[in-house]
Amino acid sequence: MKHNPQGITTAMQLYFSGESLRNTAKSLKLIGVEVSHKTVYCWIRKYVELMDKYLAQIKPQVGDTWRADEMFLKIRGNPKYMYALLDDETRYWIAKEVAGDKMSREATDYARCLFQQGKEATGKKPLTLITDGLKAYHLAYKREYFNLKAPRTTHVTWEDGKVDNRKMESFNGNTVRVREKTMRSLKNPNTPILTGMQIFHNYLRPNQGIGNHTPSELAGIQVNGENKWITLIQNASRRQRGSL
């Protein structure tokens, strides 16, 4: 890191905890780090990309029940849907996909992409997939997860009354909505902000619902050190240098 590592990681912690870019820059001045909000965003973009490439090579040990759901986001001021795939046991955010109108013909393609990413990220398929009643989920499930051989993946919806949706509602509210409140809108579907939110949720923010552990800890991925941002960035930097 060319700049103060403490300043960079403090900026990322503040931003992904819910502060705006401008408020993050103002807070950094209190510890003697004077940068613009544009610099804060550049840090986020650079180090999120670095960590994402590193973490993509590590497979989390997730459970056999996964949940998928979609929620509204604003991209350039226009409402879009973000599909998210969550492990029920560890609360690990497995995959995400930003789409358009969920009722469009492409909805099944977005859901399929989400499920494909889930298989690639974990090296497995779930035994139980829980979603709402959106038809695209069931079509994508049949194409990506269903087979006639054991073990078979079962698809259930919380709308049939057999399961509840509180875990996914908690995820949406505490992970995505709290961050979205301080953003006017995202600039594009491939923004590093969403990936940063995913990293923060999985590796940095303790979850009360799982005993104040991080999802990554329950998924067998330990990040050591008081400042886990620095640990992740340093590990990612070493891996990048080793691959050159």
Q: Residue 125: pLDDT above 90? A: yes
Q: What is the pLDDT of residues 191-213, one digit of tens each?
A: 889 999 999 999 999 998 899 99
Q: Residue 232: pLDDT above 90? A: yes
Count of residues in the chain:
244
DSSP count for the chain of H helices, then E strands: 10, 5
The answer to whether 198 and 96 are in contact (CB under 8 A) is yes
Delimit the domains of the chain by residue range: 5-58+224-243, 65-218
Q: What percent of the chain has pLDDT over 70?
A: 90
In eight-state DSSP terms, residue 153 is P
Alpha helices in the chain (DSSP H): 5-16, 21-29, 37-55, 107-122, 135-144, 166-171, 178-180, 192-199, 215-218, 228-243
* Superfamily per CATH, domain 65-218: Ribonuclease H-like superfamily/Ribonuclease H (3.30.420.10)
d(CA 112, CA 196): 23
Q: What is the pLDDT of residues 142-152, one digit of tens each?
A: 999 998 888 89
